[in-house]
Amino acid sequence: MAATKFKSGFVTIIGRPNVGKSTLVNALVGEKVAIISNKPQTTRNRISAVYTDKEKQIVFIDTPGIHKPKNKLGEFMVRSAKTTYNEVDLILLMVDDSKSIGPGDMHIIESLKDVKTPCLLVVNKLDLITPQEFKKLHEKYGKMDIFDEIIGISAKNEMNLKQLIDSIGSYMMEGPKYFPEDMVTDQPERFLVSEIIREKLLNILYDEVPHGIAVGIEKMEKRKDAEITDVYATIYCEKKSHKGIIIGKNGKVLKRVGIEARKEIENLLGNKVFLEIWVKIKEEWRDRDSLLNQFGYR
């Protein structure tokens, strides 16, 4: 009996902001590779996450939420999501448990009409709707004649994820193992560290402040004489009032960000971390090409 041939391929996950794309990516690969918050537009870059088993390797691309951009950063985020359509073997469009199909979802669906790449619809938060409600949603989306398959899941509760992986695997072709078996992301440690700090800010701050924040790693170096990594980071914000909020009264907010971020960075790097964070103002950086490039939004 002939051995089963190894399959591999690339899958982009698209959808509106805050539908659970990053939660799904983390659940599928079994590790945290994308930051999560309840704020929309958390993901800004295309993040590759790698799932590998004995038969296949699937490289997932977690994209920024597709939305109506208000600045050049927003334009970059939407463009980076849509350019994946023709670069992959399969598109996963993720929607949530909304009973009606909103204008945001319709905008994305319209953008898929002339795309030749197979498209699988994933209805997230299945645990929040009844089987009858899911059946109605299935019928609504099915009539659009765009989706090769429609699957209901709960990324948070890891419901139906094996079924999803099996379905995705059926679209993969015979191919190589692009990444080592134990590798779950292609992102460098400096990027992951900056994203950890940004996630803590997103979860602690409120209103519009988090969207005007970027995090740069000025220096990251392991000491020669000790199992300690020194990390020097800068939080960039757009307004003087925002700087005050980020630092907080008597530095309490910034101290909390540092404590929470350091714990997670230590888990990531596997050793003790000395973390120092500064806060600087860069007015309207989200609309300045040079600063967008500096912060990695190319």
pLDDT digits (tens, 9 = 90+) for 130-173: 999 999 999 999 999 999 999 999 999 999 999 999 999 999 99
Q: Give burial (CB, 10 Å; 0-12/13-18/19+) of 201.
A: buried
Rounded distance, CA 207 to CA 130, Å? 33
pLDDT one-digit tens code per residue, 252-284: 999 999 999 999 999 989 999 999 999 999 888
Q: For strands 56-62 and 7-15, give the pairing.
A: parallel
DSSP for residue 238 = S
Measured CA to CA in angstroms, residue 104 lies from 68, 96, 238, 276, 298 at distances of 9, 12, 28, 40, 25
Report yes or no on 169 lying in a domain: yes
232: domain CATH number is 3.30.300.20
Clarify whether residues 65 and 164 are in a common domain: yes
Please tell me whether residues 93 and 132 are part of one structural domain. Answer: yes
Range of the domain at 69: 7-174
CB burial of 243-274 (b: ≥16 within 10 Å; e: otherwise) equals bebbbeeeeebbeebbebbbebbeebbeeebe
pLDDT, residue 243, reads 92
Are both 130 and 169 inside the same structural domain? yes
pTM assigned to the model? 0.78
Total domains in the fold of the chain: 2
Could you tell me if residue 119 is inside a domain? Answer: yes
Q: Does 222 lie in the same domain as 167?
A: no
Residues 16-27, mean pLDDT to the nearest whole number: 87
Q: Is the dihedral of CA 155, 158, 163, 169 positive or negative?
A: positive
Mean pLDDT for the chain? 86
Average pLDDT over residues 204-215: 75
- Is the residue at 183 inside a domain? no
CB 51 within 8 A of CB 74: no
d(CA 137, CA 99): 7
AA letter at 210? P
